[in-house]
A and B are shown apart, each in its own frame.
Chain A
C-alpha cells in the first residue's frame, strides 16, 4: 500500500518534471524541471531496491550531468531564444506520437501483466549480499571487459570535448 503511494508520488515527479522540461520557455527552467524528473526516477530506483543506482543517479546525473548542462546554458546567451517561438510547426508529428503512446499505454493497461509471457529461467537464490555488493561481484567478474572498455569510452569523451571546446589545439 505504502509502495503504491510512493510509486504515485514519484511517478508524478517524473512525468510532471518531464512535461515541464519540454514545455518551459527558459532553458534554465527546463534544466531545473529535468532535475526534478531525474530525482523522481532515482526515487523509483530506490523503490525497486536498486540502492546503488539511486546513489549513482543522484551523484552522476543530478550532480554531474545537470550541472554541466547549467554551465553550458550560462555560457551561451539564450535570452534572445527565450523570446522566440518555441515550437516547430510539426503538429502532425506530435499527434502521431501521442496517438502511438496512447495506443501503447492502453494496450499495456488492458492486457496488464498477461501481455508478457516471459521465458522461464532458473530461480536465482536470494542473495544475502546487499545490492551494491552484488553489483560489484558481477561487475568485476562477468562484466569486467565492458567495465574496462568504459574507461576507453571516457578517454574518448575527454579527448573529444577538449578537441571541440578548446580555443586552439
Chain B
C-alpha cells in the first residue's frame, strides 16, 4: 500500500519549479526574521529573484521530460511549460519594478517578496494541474497571496479598499467555481482531468445537461478571475487602489494562469458541449471588448484606464477561445504572453512616475515625459503601440493570430466588431502618447528621480520581449501551436 508514498525522482523533477519557489518563499521568511528591523530589505528581494530565475531554468529544463507526476495530479506538457515561463517571467519583472516603489512607501519588507514567490508557485501549480483539486489549491495559494499584496500598504485607505474588494469578489468567484466542480464531479465521478475527458467522450457519458450546468457555474467563476464582462466590475477599483507594482502583477500573472486553466478545462473537458457554450463566450467576448474600451475612453487615471483596457484584452483572448480550434488556443497563448509583457511594462512606467503616495497617476501627469526621460517614454511608447496592436510589436501578432483563428472558425461578425473595438482602443492609447510628447512638463515629470536600476531592467526586458515577440513571432507561435494539442487532441 505505501509503495507510492515515495514519489519517483522524475516526479519530483517535474514539480521542481514550484518546489524551488515555495522553498524560496519560506527561506525569505526565515531570513526576514534574522535580519534586523531597520536594515534595508533589498537583499531579500535579490533572494526572491534568485529563486525566480532558478525556477525559470527549472521550468525550461523540466520541459525535457514531459508526462504526468504524483498519481497524475500534474501533467507537464508544452502548454504547462509555456504558462509556467510566462508567470515566472511576470514574477521576475514585478520584483524588479517593486524595489524602489516599496522603499519609497516604507514597505520594503521580506514578506512582500515571499508572497510574490508563493503566488507565482500557486500559479505554477494551476497551469500544470491535471486534477481539479490541484487547480483549486493552486488558485487559492495564488489568490490569497495576491489579496494580501494588494493590501500591503495597510495605512492606505485605497489599498485597504482594493484588498477588501479583491478578496470578497475573489472568494465569491471561488464558490461558484467550486459549485461547478461539484457538478462536474457529480456528472463524471472523478476529479482527474484525463479521466473526466475519457468519461465525457464516451457514448454513454454524462448528460449534456449536467455538464452544461457545471460549465455555466465554472464559467461564472472563471469570468470573475479573468475579469471578463459581465463579471468585470471589481477590476477597475481593485487595480486602481492596489500598489502599482502589485497591480502590474495581478493584471498579468494570476490572470494568465486563470486563463490557462480556463482554456484547459473548456477546450478539453467541455469540448463535447462546445455548441452550447460558444454563443455565451461570444457574448462575453464582445461585451468585454466593448465595455472595456468604451469605459477606458473617459478615464483620467492611468491605472484605471489600464484596468479597463485589461478587461478589453480579456475580451480579445475570449475571441480566440470562441474559435474552438487548436490555432485559436495557440493564438490565445501567444496573446497572453505578449499581453503579460506589455501590461507589466506599462504599469512599471506608472510605478516610476507616480511618486510617493501615488500622487501622480493622472494621464496629464505624463506630460513632458518625452523630453525629460526619453528612454522611459520610448519604452512606454513600445508598450502602448503593442497594446494598440501596431505592427512589429507582440500585440500586433497576438491580435492578428486571434482574428485569423476567429475567421477560420467563421466568426465573421465577432472579428469585425473586435477590429472596430481595436480602433476605438487606439484613441485612448494615442491620447497618452500625445500627452507624453506634445505637452510641456508638469509637476510630476519635473521632479522625477533618476531611473532606478531595478525599474530600468524591468522596462528594458519587457520592451525587448514585446519587440522580440513582434519581430520573430514564428518560433513562439510554433511552440504554442504544438502545445495547443492538449491531451493528444
In-complex A–B contact (CB below 8 Å)? yes
Residues of chain A whose beta carbon lies under 8 Å from any beta carbon of chain B: 115-121, 137, 140-146, 149-150, 152-153, 155-157, 159-160, 162-164, 169
Q: In the complex the two chains form, what is the Cα distance from A118 to B186 in whole Å?
A: 8
Question: Do A117 and B207 have beta carbons less than 8 Å apart?
Answer: yes
Give, as a whole number of angstroms, the nearest-CB distance from A28 to chain B: 21
Known: A142-B71, A155-B26. A118 touches B189 (CB 8 A): yes
Known: A145-B70, A152-B118, A159-B148. A115 touches B111 (CB 8 A): no
8 A Cβ contacts from B177-194 to A: 186-190
Question: Do A145 and B118 have beta carbons less than 8 Å apart?
Answer: no
Complex contacts, B26 vs chain A, CB 8 Å: 155
Size of B's binding interface in residues, CB under 8 A: 51
Known: A117-B207, A118-B187, A144-B70. A159 touches B114 (CB 8 A): yes
Q: Which of B115, B154, B210 contacts A156 (CB 8 A)?
A: B115
Question: Do A156 and B187 have beta carbons less than 8 Å apart?
Answer: no
Known: A145-B74, A156-B144. A119 touches B118 (CB 8 A): no
CB of B359 within 8 Å of the partner chain: no
Closest to B109 in A: A169
Known: A137-B1, A141-B71, A149-B125. A160 touches B141 (CB 8 A): no
Q: Which of A120, A157, A162 contacts B144 (CB 8 A)?
A: A157
Complex contacts, B115 vs chain A, CB 8 Å: 156, 159-160, 163
Complex contacts, A150 vs chain B, CB 8 Å: 137
Complex contacts, B22 vs chain A, CB 8 Å: 152
Can you report 23 A-B residue pairs in the complex whose CB atoms are below 8 A from each other? A115-B210, A117-B210, A119-B187, A119-B188, A121-B190, A140-B2, A141-B2, A142-B4, A144-B4, A144-B7, A144-B70, A146-B131, A149-B125, A149-B137, A149-B138, A153-B137, A153-B140, A155-B25, A159-B114, A160-B148, A163-B109, A163-B115, A163-B148
Question: Do B137 and A146 have beta carbons less than 8 Å apart?
Answer: yes
8 A Cβ contacts from B138-161 to A: 138, 140-141, 144-145, 147-148, 151-152, 154
Residue among A116, A119, A169 with max Cβ neighbours from chain B (10 Å) = A119
Complex contacts, B34 vs chain A, CB 8 Å: none
Q: Which of B111, B163, B189, B207 contacts A159 (CB 8 A)?
A: B111
Give, as a whole number of angstroms, the nearest-CB distance from B453 to chain A: 25
Known: A119-B204, A153-B140, A160-B115. A145 touches B73 (CB 8 A): yes
CB of B5 within 8 Å of the partner chain: yes
Q: Which of B15, B109, B151, B206 contacts A117 (CB 8 A)?
A: B206
Complex contacts, A120 vs chain B, CB 8 Å: 204
